[in-house]
A and B are shown apart, each in its own frame.
Chain A
């Protein structure tokens, strides 16, 4: 019988379309993700093949989560079908064995629930065969199909996941006989999943977290997070390590659940609900009975229209909110949001203040998916509700206007999602209150809802209702809706249409910024919103015309009815709306396409291609260098207008005579260039490139003065704010924006390897090769590209009366004129030709240290960490002047800018710092990593490393700037920290490097050849220099840095290389540690240590012998990630912790590791809790957890 029940279950579902629809959707998503870069499932792929085993596993895992709802449907159905059809009493009286019935159903549903996921593999196979053939994908981005990756991801992830989820849902369904409860079970699983995510976000708890993960998703990611591209391309997911334990744990939990359920399952339906009859509490006295029908006034007019609309709204609204599916979705989204909030907003283990814009962002994230699900599902529900309940003919035959019904229904949809949204807002406000953040900005919540969400909700509701009405087949309309939602933006991307006018609900609204409010596109957004809302009404008017009343199904009949109504009120309404919408569309089109044309991605690529193909030939031409610039800059913030004039002194140092000066220009800035005795002889159509021919040659060694005026004027509104650096409050532009580049600029070339290949270009080197000794190649540095060395800058800058403008150097003069603020600034020392001009409504806090003004320019709302920043600048100045050399500016400024970008950057004497980081970090508890200090100290260090010493434009260059700065910052931190707190901070640098190298696209390079890659120059570089100062002493490292700086300070070409530094460093490293230069700087070395044994025994003198058994390897990796394991021969710390929490390091000893298996004995006065290899984690290891072990008593 088991077999029959099982097959009955399976065959029954195979005859239904649902399973194929889900399978199709899965296949489509995977197909899209593999064959297009516009579809993304769970993060980008990088250099890994798009069909690599790792990608197969990743997609499988992520889609498993999505298919949880499918599982809930199948298992709930299997458990409850006979019950809901009231077939149970017939069935259960047959001689059917409980076992067969129960498990036949369960296993049937289990198999069924995994079938849709087979679509994933179909998607992979189809994409691999079709995409390259159709030219959608470069064949090089695909590897062979690993069928065993399909098999193993199905066996390891899909089957067990559906088993666990199914067991729990099936058990709940059998117990409660209630669909809501079953889906709540599915929700419970999602919660556990999210909690494990919260635990994981603090990376200490990875082991617990990965065992708790119901679906093994994060478990797999942890297991593979340091995989190199080769491993990702070839290693099939296997049942081992954490994954094995996770799977076993959850299969056991699933098995236990289903056994328990079986044991308590009975054919007798004892759970029959006894419905309580609702008592009519107060039965109104019957009014006097009369046989005469009361007189009523009946009219169809404006008044009745509003009544009808209102009544449709009320009934539809109630039908949605009382619907169990809605309740489930509603609870789902609230609970998920609470879980998101509980995990906080972390960065480097540090929470930020829950400022309103963070809450608004998180609310939008949380609401997004659920709103769409609710709108899709319930648009169908309320449109089909009358027909479903067979009351349509009665309603249809009443004299209401169809449009009143549709409007009421759309309003009901918009209302339910708005209510959901407002509840999320309440939760967000509650979270702020709980966290002691009391700067409530209700207006920001409200306006962001009105500007961003409400119009979108209206437009989507109308579109989905339109589909349901016009298609007039509920499930096909669902299908079309889902396809539309998934595909519309992808399709536009494929056709390179980037207008916000074609993406439902899109507007140019910028993210909310505390500095710049809702940004500079509010007006444009209002127009776009009007456009979307009007479109919604037009679609509703069409829907009303085509709305079928009664038994009408043929399109011909519907069109006939519609054309009959065109002459009536609804027809006029339709034409009226259509005209309004077209007018609005025309205005938006005029502003976004004609007044402010924009360049799409493809157009941009073509421009880049044209640029490279046409002008690359000029790259080697001699160019003059800038030596002095005198700026006059007028900023008009509310108009978003900047007028800049620059008087520039050029010098010819090329050793040749120059007859032509070339410029790469930016069309958005209207640039006027005037050169004495020169004539514009070439200018291309796109204003990309200009050539000025000199009437007399510009001789070597001579100077020349030229004038460049450029203007940025905003007009109307744009499709999307193109230039966020000019803002109503928070303008942040640099000299490269204002001025054209002299000569050909290779930074404008296409650089993505795949893009280049698709245009038939050979790959572009990220950086020129390291040369040592170095010739002409070292004459240019990577910041100014040979267009300047050290320049003098003088600026007169003006802005509106309420703002303060800042330019590089000391403030010389300040005055008001014509209701505007004017400032004059001048650099105190020639600097890199790389600086910013800023203007905003700032508060300023100052202090002085040794004659240097330390200033923080900040937004009034962000004063929490300002004092800390001032101190961090001072401590940096103290350490750096003492250890590296003098500071040549008379000021050090930190200047806040809007969060359209989230970085901090060092310009001479000035450090623009995004409002998104640092200013809103919650430092109240004082225990966490001090990221504010770290960033300030890093940027301050750049005043030495990049702004005094500068490296040549070649491999290894950023080691001399970024790694040095990060090292300097660590040193400033270390002064006020403890070794164990430093370990806490350094773990993020370990993480950054190890993760970064696993996503390497071109093969990893050793530190001294770093090609401007963050994970190497920040992550690895800082770790290696930190370890180095630990091994050879802080003084020695600083002495090397100081000596190196003295050789290079403010020096023109040739610029320094990493080899120049290593040459200075080498003599400072003792012979015993000389291997470090090679292992750490010149090769890619990873360590692999394991503490196998840690035992103690008490000695007669009361002290303890601690015996350690160590397994040790050194791993050398080549550029492709191939690793060679070697026997170690190096010095390593071993140490003892007093406590389990590893807070007190009581002993540390440097020992030599010179074989694979080693044993050591340490003597301790007190009994330690734990022993560790490399207890302060200064060496780079992929797995550090196994370095530490709790000490146990030695067996006698």
Chain B
């Protein structure tokens, strides 16, 4: 049972942006979802955990590995798929994975070959193994990305916005892959897509403005909102009025008309119907309230 323990992590960029603001959290085995809007500090946190960025204050430990002061140790047991996973030109999938396997310290040639072949099959790219990765589609590239993150039995796997830009089919395949490995190790999945978390994660946190604004089980988050989310369809010109009078969680267009979700302990007016809260409501509630607070 591995534990990732983060305490009081802070980071301010030279331009004054506070990317991490006293972040503390403890994460155990299993899939962990990190939700947050763009700019919330997810990637800063991910990079810090992946030893790719220094923190100003705080500590982060994976079991007894001090991530901030002993990054070399962590790297031995880390799988990382960054937000932007690019590939070299003129190199095949097999060559690329082999190279990374060597860098991860797998020195035995036949073991490496077996592992690379296994991973290529696992991510369903075995038949493409001798083609240039540069020519792969976005989904295929992401699969190469997850394959490389799995090399070397990592205890901690960090995947940053992995499904952005994938079509639904690719996304499903990707989720299945993650779910496969997610039980015995810590997998941190950072995303701004709520469905990713709903489908995969047993635990989650929501970040906003460099802070953790929610941490817990997705279901308990939903429970907290039970009976408090109301929905109604309005005309466009009514928007200002509604926004002024109610705590609007979200608005989206449904069949050409804005549909509002409003947070309220009681039914706000006759026009509203109670709806079962979804994670999106949680996300918007947590992040917007955080911002307005």
Contact = CB atoms under 8 A, between A and B. Distances in A.
Contacts of B99: 311, 315
Interface string B168-183: 0000000000001000
A750 B140 CA distance: 76
Contact of A397 (B52, B91, B107, B115): B52
Interface stretch (B79-87, B216-224, B230-238, B246-254): B79-87
Contacts of B118: 287, 290, 293-294
Contacts of B91: 315, 318
Contacts of B131: 278, 280
Contacts of B103: 308, 311, 395, 398-400
A551 interface: yes
Interface stretch (B22-30, B148-156, B187-195): B148-156
B152 to A, nearest CB: 5
B145 to A, nearest CB: 8
B59 to A, nearest CB: 15
Contacts of A550: 47, 50-53
Given A283-B127, A550-B47, A397 B78 contact: yes
Contacts of B102: 304, 307-308, 310-311
A389 B117 CA distance: 24
Interface in A551-603: 551-552, 554, 557, 560-561, 564, 568
B125 to A, nearest CB: 11
A interface bracket (residues with beta carbon within 8 Å of B): 35 or more
A462 B95 CA distance: 27
A289 interface: yes
Contacts of B80: 393-394, 397
Given A286-B121, A564-B69, A394 B81 contact: yes
A554 B14 CA distance: 9
Interface string A126-145: 00000000000000000000
A307 B87 contact: no
B61 interface: no
A391 interface: yes
Contacts of B84: 390, 393
B72 interface: yes
Given A280-B127, A315-B91, A296 B52 contact: no
Interface string A81-105: 0000000000000000000000000
B90 A319 contact: yes
A16 interface: no
Contacts of A765: none
A641 interface: no
B152 A551 contact: no
A1105 to B, nearest CB: 77
A400 B54 CA distance: 19
Interface in B90-117: 90-91, 95, 98-100, 102-108, 111-112, 114-115, 117
Nearest to A310: B102
A552 B106 CA distance: 27
B215 interface: no
Nearest to B70: A564
Interface in A629-653: none
Interface string A291-315: 1011111111101100110110001
B106 A298 contact: yes
Given A293-B118, A293-B153, A394-B81, A560 B87 contact: no
A737 interface: no
Q: Among A283, A318, A551, which residue has the most Cβ atoms of chain B within 10 A?
A: A551
Interface string B34-56: 00000000000001001111100
B88 A385 contact: yes
B153 A393 contact: no
B7 to A, nearest CB: 20
A397 B87 contact: no
Contact of A300 (B76, B82, B89): B76
Q: Among A289, A395, A398, A560, which residue has the most Cβ atoms of chain B within 10 A?
A: A398
Nearest to B121: A289
Contact of A557 (B54, B111, B115, B121): B54
B263 to A, nearest CB: 37
A740 B12 CA distance: 76
B130 interface: yes
Contact of B51 (A283, A391, A397): A397
A550 B127 CA distance: 32
A845 interface: no
A549 B121 contact: no
B106 A391 contact: no
Contact of B150 (A293, A304, A557, A560): A293
A388 to B, nearest CB: 8
B100 A298 contact: no
B18 interface: no
A398 B104 contact: yes
A397 B51 CA distance: 7
Contact of A304 (B82, B107, B117, B130): B107
Contacts of A301: 105
Given A290-B118, A311-B103, A561-B54, A296 B85 contact: no
A146 B269 CA distance: 90
Contacts of B50: 393, 397, 550
B126 A286 contact: yes
Contacts of A299: 105, 107
Nearest to B54: A557
B76 A399 contact: yes
Contacts of A557: 54
A301 B72 CA distance: 12
Nearest to B86: A390
B177 to A, nearest CB: 12
A597 to B, nearest CB: 48
B164 to A, nearest CB: 14
B153 A399 contact: no
A976 B111 CA distance: 81
A297 B103 CA distance: 13
B47 to A, nearest CB: 6
A991 interface: no
Interface string A365-392: 0000000000000000000010001110
A322 interface: yes
A303 B87 CA distance: 26
A396 B52 contact: yes
Nearest to A404: B103
Contact of A394 (B51, B53, B72, B85): B85
Contact of B82 (A278, A394, A554, A564): A394
Contacts of B228: none
A551 B75 contact: no
B127 A391 contact: no
Given A289-B121, A390-B86, A394-B81, A304 B54 contact: no
Contacts of B112: 296
Contact of A297 (B78, B106, B148): B106
Q: Among A286, A293, A395, which residue has the most Cβ atoms of chain B within 10 A?
A: A293
Contacts of B88: 315, 319, 385, 389, 391
A309 B148 CA distance: 19
A560 B54 contact: yes
A399 B150 contact: no
A550 B105 CA distance: 19
Nearest to A560: B54
A303 B115 contact: no
Given A393-B50, A560-B54, A297 B72 contact: no
Contacts of A298: 76, 104-106, 152-153
B275 to A, nearest CB: 40
A308 B101 CA distance: 9
A311 B104 CA distance: 12
B100 A394 contact: yes
Given A393-B82, A399-B76, A296 B108 contact: yes
| A-B interface, 9 closest residue pairs, ranked by CB to CB distance from nearest | A550-B52, A390-B86, A399-B75, A398-B103, A393-B82, A397-B80, A311-B102, A399-B76, A400-B103
6 contacts: A287-B117, A287-B121, A296-B114, A311-B98, A398-B100, A551-B52
